[in-house]
Structure formats: C-alpha cells, structure tokens
Amino acid sequence: MNTLSDDSQQLNDHLASALQTALDRCSAHPGFTAPRAGIILGSGLSGLADEIADPLRIDYADLPGFARATASGHRGQLIFGTLDEVPVVAMAGRMHRYEGHSDDRVTFPVRLMAALGTTTLIVSNAAGGLNPVLNVGDIVVINDHIDLAKKRDGLLANQRLSTLLDSAQATAFNDRILGTSPLHLYDGGLSQIALAAARAGDFTAILGTYIATLGPTYETRAEYRMMRSFGGDVVGMSTALEVRVAAVLGMRVLGLSMVSNVARPDQAQSTDHQEVLDAGRAAQSKLRKIVAATLRHLIG
C-alpha cells in the first residue's frame, strides 16, 4: 500500500466534498459572491465575525474533512459574507496541533479557501510579547516566523502538499523546497498597509517575528529568555503552519499578533486563557482598523 498516495487521495476527496458542500450552501444564499479575502480569527478576536454583512454561517461539523475547534472562544464556524464591501470568508475559530490534529487537518480550511478562489489571507492570533518594548494590546505585524513545532518528517509532508498543486504551483513549490528561490511567507506590501493604519489610528504596531510552539501550556521563564535570544518578538501556538500552506498555494498573507500578555522572564507570573480573551476584546478595534485598510486596498 502506498500510504502517501492513499493519504493524499483521501485529503483531495475531502477537499472536493467540502468545496461542493460550501458551494451548494452559498449558491442558495441571496447575493453570494466568491470571497476575495480569507480571515482567520484567533483567540478573543472572533467578534469581527459579527460585523460581516449578509452572513452565511456553516458549522465545521457540516463540512467534510473539517476538524472540530475545541479551544475556548473559538465558535467553529466558516462565515461567508461581505466586510467593507469586500466578499470574505472568515474562520471563527481555528484548529491547533495541541488539540491532536494533524498538519493536514490544521491547514485544511486554508486549502478550502484557496479552492474557493481566495487570493489574500489575513491571519490573526493572540500571542505573548517577548520584545520588551511591547505592552498588552499592542499589535505585531508579522514579517517572518520561527516554527518550533515543525514536524521532522518534512519530506513526507512536502510530498503530500505538492500533490495538491497544479503544475505552475508545483514548480514554484519545488523551487522553494530546493532553495532556488527564497520563501517569502508574509506580504511586504500588506504589512506596510497595516503599519500605516496603526499610525493613522494612533496605536502601536511594529514589524516582528512570530515564534510558534506546540502548546497548550504557556512558556517557562527560561523558554522566554531562549526565544528572545532567537530574535522572537511574540510567541503563540498557531499561525505558522497555516501561513506556510497559504504561501505555497500562492496567497498573499498578512499576519497580525495581538499581544495578550507580556513575558517577564526575571519575574514569576501566571497567565490564563481568560486574560487572553479579555485582551483580545480590548484590542479588537485596532485589528478592525487594520483589516479595513487592507480590504480597501483590495478594492483599490
């Protein structure tokens, strides 16, 4: 039995089924337009989903191949509609590796978004601040990441991912894997739009590096010191894998971290998930301004 081929075929079958299910539901919804932008809403940031006009909400349980989102504050819905006059599809809740999901399950929604024709992905998360200049509620516009939870069976994962691509995408993908062209995950133009929105809104946003860990436990003080030495500005438990797949599929990516707590490696402290949710709600207006500016750019 060829396990790679079998797994890839099953993944493709699930993707085709989920795509058909979504299209069937959307075609029956008045005024549906294919989404131009996808939005992944992280912990405490799901309130943005309530601003989507003419929403069509599909529970993850109704979409073949979708895993369940179990983290607190994650609704587990795919929401279609318009935001600032731009057709969007939003994930109200994401899947995490620490929930026991495979890489394929975590990134499956991104693949569905791409199959629906989405060309831009806005990824948000709540993260711990490593950079000492950051305060709770600040925004980090991600310009690169370090994935400490990356699986070591990279060749197998890469082969499985390459089977999902058309010939042009596969050529670009192989160039990246072989190192013949750089892997730029986050779109520099969208990052500059986000920073300009922060200046216009008079709130703090900086470019920075996101460090992804497996979770679900928060970091120790020694781990915080290590991550600072690596050059990390924020640390969280998501995003890196989703972004990598989105970039390989040719999507422009804007990554946004909301600082939910600040690491103080020389001082004992505790952090709980409720604090993350509270910080997210308090900072939501900042994220909203950045999203609005990004969407205005898309309809430019």
Which residues make Cβ contacts (< 8 Å) with residue 184, sequence separation at least 6?
247
Which residues make Cβ contacts (< 8 Å) with residue 4, sequence separation at least 6?
156, 159, 160, 163
pLDDT of 178 higher than 70: no
Helix (H) or strand (E) holding 92: strand 86-92
The amino acid present at 40, given as its one-letter code, is I
Could you please state the CATH topology (level 3) that the domain comprising 3-299 is classified under: Rossmann fold (3.40.50)
- Which residues belong to the active site? 43, 74, 96, 98-99, 126, 237-238, 261, 273
Which residues make Cβ contacts (< 8 Å) with residue 16, sequence separation at least 6?
none
- Range ranked top by mean pLDDT from 11-20, 92-101, 204-213: 204-213
pLDDT band with cut points at 50, 70 and 90 for residue 1? very low
Query: What's the rounded Cα separation, in Å, for the pair 183 and 234?
Result: 21
Per-domain residue ranges for the chain? Answer: 3-299
Range 142-152 average pLDDT? 86
User: How far from the centroid of its chain's Cα atoms is residue 266's Cα?
Assistant: 31
pLDDT score at 225? 93
Mean pLDDT of the chain: 85
Cis bond before residue 216 (omega within 30° of 0): yes
Predicted confidence (pLDDT) per residue in 236-277, tens digit = 999 999 999 999 899 999 999 999 888 877 765 666 666 666
pLDDT of 117 higher than 70: yes
Query: Percentage of the chain with pLDDT > 90?
Result: 57
pLDDT of 159 higher than 60: no
Query: What's the rounded Cα separation, in Å, for the pair 248 and 244?
Result: 6
